[in-house]
Structure 1
Amino acid sequence: MADEPGRWIRRYRAAPDAAVQLVCLPHAGGAASYYRPMAMALFPSVEVLAVQYPGRQDRLDEPCSGDFAELTERTLAAVRPALDRPVALFGHSMGSLLAFELAKRLEGEGAGPLALFASGGRPPDRPVRHSSRPVTDEELISEVAALEGTDRRLLDSEDMRVLFLPALRADYRTMATYRFDGTRLSCPLVSLTGDGDHLVTSDDAAGWAGHTTGGFDLHVFPGGHFYLTDRWDAVAEVVTRRLGAQVPTGTG
């Protein structure tokens, strides 16, 4: 079955007159709906295309991906037909690596993004490697709870665990297959992080500078790994400011 854009892309606030599209890639265990606030904050100047990975929410009946290269190619194949304006990429945590790989492929096709926003992620040469040993549900839940990005009621609900944990485990397996080939981007790269993120240090966030020959900016916000949850407007301002400077004259 082909990967139609309609199965992968969520437009929570369509903006057909926006000059730029922003493709947003979720974190491990995450879903497209995480970016609903981003879509609202950027409307109407930027149209957010939030990616829905297989195996979660309305795609629960589909198997999760277990291979990073496969996920990259399937995401690109699904996203490409939805792009009809200049595009930028935004990824959080695992999504930052996926955004990086998509940017590489788009640049290779001569359709490189205006910018890459890498949020809450380590750079490609030192990605997060989750434990390869089997872990219990309780261990996994404790790890997720420590990142303070998931509602505790969700983690405490047995019914919700059944829906949530398989996708998280699959994404961890997917992350373990990531391999960096040394390629650098030519587009501007913006790294964003929380000052209390124990998973991605400020040095990690700054390390993205070596992965582009374009301009680089680093923005540090108050908060932990999921600093975005309380900072959507501030993050949207960073995005808008960068893309306002990058949109070609006459676009839109």
Structure 2
Amino acid sequence: MNDREGAMLALLQLMSASSGPLGTRNAQRELAKRGRELSESSVSRLLREMDGRGWTTPVGSKGRVLAGEGRRRAAEAVLSHRASDSLQHAVRDTKDLLDLLRARRAVESAVAGDAARAPDAGRLRRLRELCDQHAHAVGSAPMIEQPGLQFHRCVVEMSTNRMLKVAADMMLAPHLDRVEAVLDTVLATRRDEEKVVAEHQAVLDGIAHRDPVGAEEAMKAHFDAMIAAVETSVVGGNEVLVQRLLEWVPTG
């Protein structure tokens, strides 16, 4: 999820907890309390975009309230957060890590296929940019920014299947980045990062060519390779190391 989408979801949650219309200035103040420092004009633009999506309804000069679609989106965000929070504490050993990858394989393969049916031009452009950034970052300091993980999140944003997106967002929530960091550490000794970029490119090609079957198969192949690498690492005697990394990496 990008910063703009995250800020809009935070605004939805603020409105769902408000007893009356939420104005721009109060929205800005509440977002700042939650660590989202935005200018009043930026918040105003976000609110107008939410009006355009049918998530919110202006109430004169008083502010905005949630529309029916906004209430549904807010409920989905709460569900996803609660589920991912539980999942955060559930990944404690290599079996949990493999189970998470298998679950992600099922969900994200379906997401990629769905995204390929009618890809949005702007998000497709962003997907290409992330793939290029990943390719240029291989073996360098920017890899710490996890361009590969951002690629996966962008694919999820392109899906129009809301139930798939809820499931994928749960497994790709920001507070699960610690698990991704451990996964990157494990795979660094077992996989050539350039192969990962090529696998992402295959997913991108399927989506760009509006080929749902090709995109789904490419994403599945990508996860098959990751799962095989983790399994090989376990066989190679790194299981205890993986478990200790999962226990030691901060969960906050």
Q: TM-score when scaled to structure 1?
A: 0.27
Structure number having the greater strand percentage:
1
TM-score (norm 2): 0.27
Larger Rg: 2
Q: Which has the higher helix share?
A: 2
